[in-house]
């Protein structure tokens, strides 16, 4: 009976895992090394600042980050701008507001404002490429790829939570010519990593497009990694604090569990 | 109650209070002097763990409710405000979201323990049914809580699940419109789900009180399935069970902390970080992991009404187990055939869970059907028949015999 059960389970498992992927085809992006990965991960301030530069000069032309406030640029655990620098970034933005006569005006941004959308409304945003450019506040947590069995089990132990940045970096580098026979619609662009391969956005980045002041390579690969890291910070600004406190909590709990274990043994020795 | 109250407070004030509201005596007889079988294993700690998790969910939930806005235009952003601007808001949110998963993980272990050791059998039938009621309330609470985030998966899961009621012949569509508060999932739906999500955990707490009361009337079951016969078979709850539960609770918290601090979004779905958009349907609509087995059962049946009936039946059938299982032997330890069918059933449950995350096509739907048939067969065919035909192993004379026998 036991052998039958085991045989059945193995047979089923083999049958299932041998199947090709159905539904939306998605090529798994390569796993990159991120400074914020793992239990002691931290954001690399220089990388976040470079990534922010990419966002500001390229992405913000179409993409809002309307849940990220300018002031958060100066918060600890982030790109490490000073309050004055964050205020300067804010001042460059144009924010729709009302004057004290109730008339609509455009004013300079303040640290309390959020990264605005360059479009007045959803329809206008949609009209450029047929799809509204998604807001980038939570984008790095809103994108992932199928890990498949058994890798998603291993991910619990390896703490792999960087599917979003891996996907974004791969996507930005993934524009290529469609393979022969692929029917690409009129306004679409072929991207290796986008599910279904037909993406509305044309390739936004290329080598040498943005000047880095810290001497980092001005390549598409570098831009992609930097902006993906920045977007991860935008989505999860308290990651560093979370992992730091997590370590303290784990140490506490493990010590507590150890003490409780020996206390339990002592108490129960009376009965055994 | 168990009638072992030997509570004699020394303190004058406590004596005065005890005469007026004997809570001290109640706590003493229920959680200090209460006789607990001496042979309970770690699986018996999950009841206490569940009570702890209910407390965690209520506390974190109330604090989240101070900052959350239950309006379709503001809900998603208010959650992000909690994550970014509320002091330790990220911790509250991740504790609550992962706490729900841990709550369900614990309840499944708790239920598997109950089925394996026959804890549902006479005289614990009402205890078991109260547990099924708690489980149903948990499922409703968890579902509505997930909708509150108002991400893509929140919105579309709400659409799918509320649409199930349209399968009811005749009045189905009217019921669904009434549930929605409109002609589609929208702001009225979100608001009423918020109200109910805040209410139900307190209903759960009330049923938990009844559940613990019913437990204390009958006493705990134990791995042998035979009732304690003398004081040799039991130990007082404090300090023995208290310290053992504390240890396992700490271990449970280590697992909980691992998820909260290091992989807080592992159990969630990335699509729920996209604000709800009624005009865009996600590529796949899946519930949280703890509903996946039932989702698989629902989708394995091609007919809509039959699928809905199968879905609800798969939970309601649990309430009838005390009468479906005809065996006179309680614990699977002494029921070799039942043990094997039980483990097959566990494999079916886990398998259905995995299949619930897949599209219902090809081999996935075939396997879902096989596992669904086995799931129901386990309760409706195997349990009744095994009681009649199974040759059980000899049951020990007493609990202390089984404990000492193991040491010999």
CA distance B233 to A271: 11
pLDDT of residue B5: 59
Q: Which two tokens stand for residue B385?
A: 């028949």
* Residue B95 with chain A: CB contacts under 8 Å: none
Do the Cβ atoms of B362 and A257 come within 8 Å?
no
- Chain B residues whose CB is inside 8 A of the A260 CB are 243, 246-247, 250
* Alpha helix ranges (H) inside chain A: 2-17, 45-57, 83-92, 122-129, 139-142, 151-158, 163-173, 220-235, 239-268
Among A15, A135, A257, beta carbon nearest to B247: A257
* Burial class for B193, CB neighbours closer than 10 Å (0-12, 13-18, 19+): buried
3-state secondary structure of A81: coil
Report the pLDDT averaged over residues A229-246: 98
Here the ipTM equals 0.92
Q: Quick one: fold of A24-67+120-251?
A: Cytochrome Bc1 Complex; Chain D, domain 2 (1.10.760)
Query: Given B94, B261, B363, which is nearest A243 (Cβ)?
Result: B261
Q: What is the pLDDT of residue B408?
A: 41
Cβ neighbourhood burial of A40 (10 Å; 0-12, 13-18, 19+): exposed
DSSP string covering B278-295, please? Answer: TT---S-----GGGHHHH
Q: Are A258 and B245 in contact (CB under 8 A)?
A: no
Q: Is B183 exposed, middle or buried (0-12, 13-18, 19+ CB in 10 A)?
A: exposed
Q: How confident is the model at residue B206 (pLDDT cuts 50, 70, 90)?
A: very high
Mean of the pLDDT values across residues B39-54?
97
**What is the pLDDT confidence band of residue B50, given thresholds at 50, 70 and 90?**
very high
% of chain B residues with pLDDT over 70: 98
pLDDT 10s digits, B13-26: 999 999 999 999 99
**Nearest residue of B to residue A72, measured between CA atoms:** B84
Please name the residue that has the structure tokens 């303040």.
A110
Domains of chain A, by residue range, sit at 24-67+120-251
The terminus-to-terminus CA distance of chain A in angstroms comes to 36
Q: Name the nearest CA neighbour of A267 among B238, B367, B84, B331.
A: B238
| C-alpha–C-alpha distance, residues A143 and A132, integer Å | 16
Return the pLDDT at A26.
86
Cα A24 from chain centroid? 21
What local confidence, expressed as pLDDT, does residue A11 receive?
Answer: 56
Residues of B in contact with A261 (CB under 8 A): 247
Rounded to whole angstroms, the Cα distance separating A93 from A109 reads 5
The alpha-carbon gap from B262 to the nearest alpha carbon of chain A, in Å, equals 6
Cα separation, B383 vs B388, whole angstroms: 9
Could you read off the pLDDT of B139-172 as tens digits, one per residue? 999 999 999 999 999 999 999 999 999 999 999 9
Q: Output phi, psi for A199, to 5 deg.
A: -110, 145
Q: Is the pLDDT of residue A6 over 70?
A: no
Q: Average pLDDT in the B120-147 region?
A: 97
Q: For B203-231, what is the mean pLDDT? A: 95
* Chain A residues 94-123 with CB within 8 Å of chain B: none
In this predicted structure, the answer to whether residue A15 has a pLDDT above a threshold of 70 is no
- Residue A22 banded pLDDT, cuts 50, 70, 90: very low
> Does A150 lie at the interface with B, CB-CB under 8 angstroms?
no
Instruction: In whole angstroms, give the CA distance from residue B347 to residue B343.
Output: 6
Minimum-distance CB partner of A253 among B244, B253, B351: B253
Least confident of A3-12, A21-30, A146-155, B281-290: A3-12
Q: Is the pLDDT of residue B1 over 50?
A: no
The answer to whether the Cβ–Cβ distance between B254 and A250 falls below 8 Å is yes
**Are B261 and A242 inside 8 Å of each other by CB?**
yes
Under a CB-based contact definition with an 8 Å cutoff, are residues B51 and B166 in contact? no
Among the partner residues B235, B264, B363, nearest to A15 by beta-carbon distance = B363
Tell me what pLDDT residue A3 has.
Answer: 64
Q: Do A159 and B38 touch (CB under 8 A)?
A: no
Assign B400 a pLDDT band (cuts: 50, 70, 90).
confident
Mean pLDDT of A30-56: 97
Residue A60: other Cβ atoms inside 10 A: 18
Instruction: Please indicate if any CB of chain B lies within 8 Å of the CB of A200.
Output: no
Q: B148-162, B225-239, B247-261, B307-321 — which is least confidently predicted?
A: B225-239
pLDDT band at B399, cuts 50/70/90? confident
**pLDDT band of A13, cuts 50, 70, 90:** low
Beta bridge partners of A106: A96
Q: Which of residues 247-266 of A touch B (CB under 8 A)?
A: 247, 249-250, 253-254, 256-257, 260-261, 263-264
Is residue A191 classed as helix, strand or coil in its secondary structure? Answer: strand
B193: which 2 tokens? 């789900």
pLDDT above 90 as % of chain A: 86
In this predicted structure, the answer to whether residue A249 has a pLDDT above a threshold of 60 is yes
Query: Are A249 and B261 inside 8 Å of each other by CB?
Result: yes
As a whole number of Å, the end-to-end CA separation of chain B is 36
Report the 10 Å Cβ neighbour count for A266.
11
| CB-CB neighbors (< 8 A) of B367 in chain A | 12, 16
Residues with Cβ < 8 Å from B32, sequence gap 6 or more?
B7, B236, B237, B238
pLDDT at B28 over 90: yes
Amino acid A5: pLDDT: 58
pLDDT digits (tens, 9 = 90+) for A159-203: 999 999 999 999 999 999 999 999 999 889 999 999 999 999 999
Position A18 pLDDT exceeds 50: no
- The shortest CB-CB distance from A5 to any of B261, B283, B344 is to B344
Distance in angstroms (rounded) separating the CA atoms of residues A30 and A176: 16
Residue B55 token pair? 């407390």
Q: What is the mean pLDDT of residues A86-112?
A: 95
DSSP string, A213-247: TT----SHHHHHHHHHHHHHHHH-TTHHHHHHHHH
Q: What is the mean pLDDT of residues A212-230?
A: 96
- Whole-number pLDDT of residue B313: 96
pLDDT at A16 over 50: no
Work out the average pLDDT over A66-75.
97
> What is the pTM (predicted TM-score) of this model?
0.94
pLDDT-based confidence at A271, cuts 50/70/90? confident
Which stretch of A12-16, A123-127, A128-132, B347-351 has the lowest confidence by average pLDDT? A12-16
Q: Look at the alpha carbons of B44, B46, B49, B55 in this order and tell me if their dihedral is positive or negative.
A: negative
Question: In the predicted model, is pLDDT for residue A23 greater than 80?
Answer: no
With CB atoms and an 8 Å threshold, state whether B261 touches A141: no
Domains of chain B, first to last: 40-279 (1.20.810.10), 286-398 (1.10.287.980)
Q: What is the pLDDT of residue B402?
A: 78
Mean pLDDT of chain B: 95
Cβ–Cβ gap A245/B347 under 8 Å = no
- The verdict on A242 touching B (C-beta cutoff 8 Å) is yes
CA distance A88 to B59: 41
pLDDT of residue B258 exceeding 90, the answer is yes
């Amino acid at each position: 009976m036991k052998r039958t059960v085991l045989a059945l389970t193995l047979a089923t498992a083999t049958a299932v895992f041998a199947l090709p992927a159905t539904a939306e085809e998605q090529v798994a992006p390569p796993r990159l090394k991120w400074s914020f990965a793992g239990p002691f991960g931290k954001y690399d301030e220089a990388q976040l600042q470079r990534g922010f530069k990419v966002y500001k000069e390229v992405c913000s032309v179409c993409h809002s980050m309307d849940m990220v406030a300018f002031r958060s640029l100066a918060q600890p655990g982030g790109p490490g701008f000073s309050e004055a620098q964050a205020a300067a970034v804010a001042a460059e933005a144009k924010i729709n507001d009302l004057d004290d006569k109730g008339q609509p005006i455009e004013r300079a941004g303040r640290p309390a404002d959020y990264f605005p959308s360059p479009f007045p409304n959803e329809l206008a945003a949609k009209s450029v490429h047929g799809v509204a450019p998604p807001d980038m506040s939570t984008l790095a947590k809103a994108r992932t790829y199928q890990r498949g069995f058994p890798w998603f089990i291993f991910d619990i132990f390896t703490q792999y939570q960087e599917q979003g940045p891996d996907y974004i970096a791969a996507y930005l580098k993934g524009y290529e010519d469609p393979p022969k026979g692929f029917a690409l619609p009129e306004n679409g662009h072929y991207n290796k990593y986008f599910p279904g391969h037909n993406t509305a956005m044309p390739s936004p980045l290329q080598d040498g497009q943005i000047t880095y002041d810290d001497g980092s390579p001005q390549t598409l690969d570098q831009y992609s990694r930097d902006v993906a890291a920045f977007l991860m910070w935008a989505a999860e600004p308290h990651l560093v604090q979370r992992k730091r406190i997590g370590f303290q909590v784990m140490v506490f709990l493990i010590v507590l569990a150890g003490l409780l274990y020996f206390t339990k043994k002592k108490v129960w020795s009376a009965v055994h | 109650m168990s009638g072992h109250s030997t509570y004699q407070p020394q303190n004058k004030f406590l004596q005065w209070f005890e005469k007026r509201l004997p809570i001290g005596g109640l706590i003493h007889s229920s959680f200090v002097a209460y006789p607990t079988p001496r042979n309970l294993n770690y699986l018996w700690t999950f009841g206490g763990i569940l009570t702890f998790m209910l407390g965690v969910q209520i506390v974190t939930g109330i604090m989240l409710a101070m900052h959350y806005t239950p309006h379709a235009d503001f809900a998603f952003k208010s959650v992000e405000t909690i994550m970014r601007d509320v002091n330790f808001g990220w911790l509250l949110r991740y504790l609550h979201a992962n706490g729900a998963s841990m709550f369900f993980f614990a309840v499944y272990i708790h239920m598997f323990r109950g089925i394996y050791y026959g804890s549902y059998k006479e005289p614990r039938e009402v205890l078991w049914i109260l547990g099924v009621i708690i489980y149903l309330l948990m499922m409703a609470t968890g579902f509505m809580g997930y909708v509150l985030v108002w991400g893509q998966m929140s919105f579309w899961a709400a659409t799918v699940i509320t649409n199930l009621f349209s399968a009811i012949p005749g009045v189905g569509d009217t019921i669904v419109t009434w549930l929605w508060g409109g002609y589609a999932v929208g702001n009225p739906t979100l608001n009423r789900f918020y109200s109910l999500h805040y209410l139900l955990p307190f209903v759960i707490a009330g049923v938990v009180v009844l559940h613990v009361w019913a437990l204390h009337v009958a006493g705990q079951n134990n791995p042998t399935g035979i009732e304690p016969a003398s004081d040799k078979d039991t130990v007082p709850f404090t300090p023995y069970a208290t310290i053992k539960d504390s240890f396992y609770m700490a271990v449970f918290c280590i697992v909980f902390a691992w998820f909260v601090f290091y992989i807080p979004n592992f159990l969630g779905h990335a699509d729920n970080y996209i604000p709800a958009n009624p005009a865009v349907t996600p590529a796949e609509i899946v519930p949280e992991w703890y509903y996946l087995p039932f989702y698989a059962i629902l989708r394995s049946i091609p007919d809509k009404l039959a699928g809905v009936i199968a879905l609800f039946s798969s939970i309601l059938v649990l309430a009838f187990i005390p009468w479906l299982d005809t065996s006179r032997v309680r614990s699977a330890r002494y029921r070799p055939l039942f043990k094997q069918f039980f483990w097959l059933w566990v494999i079916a449950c886990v398998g259905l869970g995995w299949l619930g995350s897949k599209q219902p096509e090809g081999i996935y739907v075939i396997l879902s059907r096989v596992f669904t048939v086995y799931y129901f067969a386990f309760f409706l065919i195997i349990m009744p028949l095994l009681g009649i035909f199974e040759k059980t192993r000899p049951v020990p004379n007493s609990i202390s015999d089984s404990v000492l026998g193991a040491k010999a």
